[in-house]
């Protein structure tokens, strides 16, 4: 009995860790619960989520590589660095994608430091 409780506890901790990773890596999902994240990625498996985290990390690294010459430290309401888009067109594309996929309505605005473009919640 004691052992199985520990297994459950370990699983919960693992889930929390994955959710934290997702919130950190994708600020657009930062208000999502774990159930909503599962729906968002169209899966029920923790392993699949882990794969998504890996690919988000990779994308993020590529993204950071591209903007190393121009980067800002704008953060969202939770203190996470905001995604930076090199052009308004790219930002609008992402905005449209997020709206289509998650019905999240976002605003495109010029970075106050003029590094590029950001998205913010309406």
Residue nearer to Zn ion on the CB measure, 72 or 104? 72
**Whose CA is closest to 92, among 108, 111, 76, 74?**
108
User: Which parts of 29-68 interact with Zn ion (CB under 5 A)?
Assistant: none
Q: Does 86 bind Zn ion (CB under 5 A)?
A: no
Token output for 75? 């953060």
8 A C-beta contact, residue 73 and residue 116? no
Q: Among residues 18, 19, 72, 98, which is the contact residue for Zn ion, using CB under 5 A?
A: 72
**Whose CA is closest to 110, among 100, 119, 98, 102?**
119
Q: Does 90 bind Zn ion (CB under 5 A)?
A: no
8 A C-beta contact, residue 97 and residue 103? no
Q: Among residues 56, 81, 98, 111, which is the contact residue for Zn ion, using CB under 5 A?
A: 111
State the number of binding residues for Zn ion (CB under 5 A).
4
CB of 27 to Zn ion, least distance (A): 13
CB of 111 to Zn ion, least distance (A): 3
Give the Cα separation of 80 and 18 in Å (integer).
16
Q: In the complex, which residues of this chain contact Zn ion (CB under 5 A)?
A: 72, 74, 111, 115
């Amino acid at each position: 009995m004691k052992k199985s409780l520990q297994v459950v506890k370990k699983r919960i901790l693992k889930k929390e860790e994955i959710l934290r990773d997702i919130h950190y890596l994708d600020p657009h999902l930062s208000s999502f619960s774990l159930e909503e994240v599962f729906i968002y990625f169209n899966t029920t498996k923790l392993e699949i989520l882990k794969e998504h985290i890996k690919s988000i990390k990779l994308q993020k690294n590529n993204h950071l590589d591209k903007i190393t010459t121009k980067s800002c430290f704008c953060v969202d309401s939770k203190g996470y660095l905001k995604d930076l888009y090199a052009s308004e067109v790219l930002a609008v594309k992402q905005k449209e994608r997020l709206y289509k996929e998650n019905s999240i309505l976002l605003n495109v605005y010029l970075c106050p430091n003029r590094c590029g473009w950001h998205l913010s919640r309406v």
